[in-house]
Structure 1
Amino acid sequence: MFSLQQIHHAHDQVKTGADFPKYIHDLKNLGVLSFRFQVLDGIELYQGKDGFEQQTEPKYEALNLVQEVDLASFSKELIDHQQGKTDFPHFIKICADTGVNYWIVDLVGLTCTYYDAYDEIILSEDILMDSI
Structure 2
Amino acid sequence: MFTIEAIKAAHAKVKSGADFPAYIRDLKNLGVGYYETWVTDGHTDYYGAGEEKQVAVAQYGPLDIAATANVTAFAQRLREHQQGATDYLTFCGHCAEHGVEKWVVCLDKMTCTYYDTAGNELLQEKVPDVMV
State the TM-score bracket (shorter-chain normalisation).
over 0.9
Aligned partners of 2:22 and 2:130 also within 8 Å: no
Runs of 4+ off more than 4 Å:
none
Which position in structure 2 is the counterpart of 1:8? 8
**Count of paired positions:** 132
Q: Match for 2:80: what amino acid?
A: D
2:38 paired with 1:38: yes
Offset, 1:58: 1.4
Percent identity of equivalent pairs: 40
Unaligned stretches of 5+ residues in structure 1: none
1:26–1:131 Cα change, 3 Å: closer
C-alpha offsets along residues 14-63 of structure 1, whole Å, 9 cap, x if unaligned? 00000000000000000000000000011100000011000011111111
TM-score using structure 1 length: 0.97
2:84 paired with 1:84: yes
Aligned partners of 2:25 and 2:131 also within 8 Å: no
Unaligned stretches of 5+ residues in structure 2: none
Note the aligned Cα RMSD (angstroms): 1.2
1:112–1:83 Cα change, 3 Å: same
TM-score using structure 2 length: 0.97
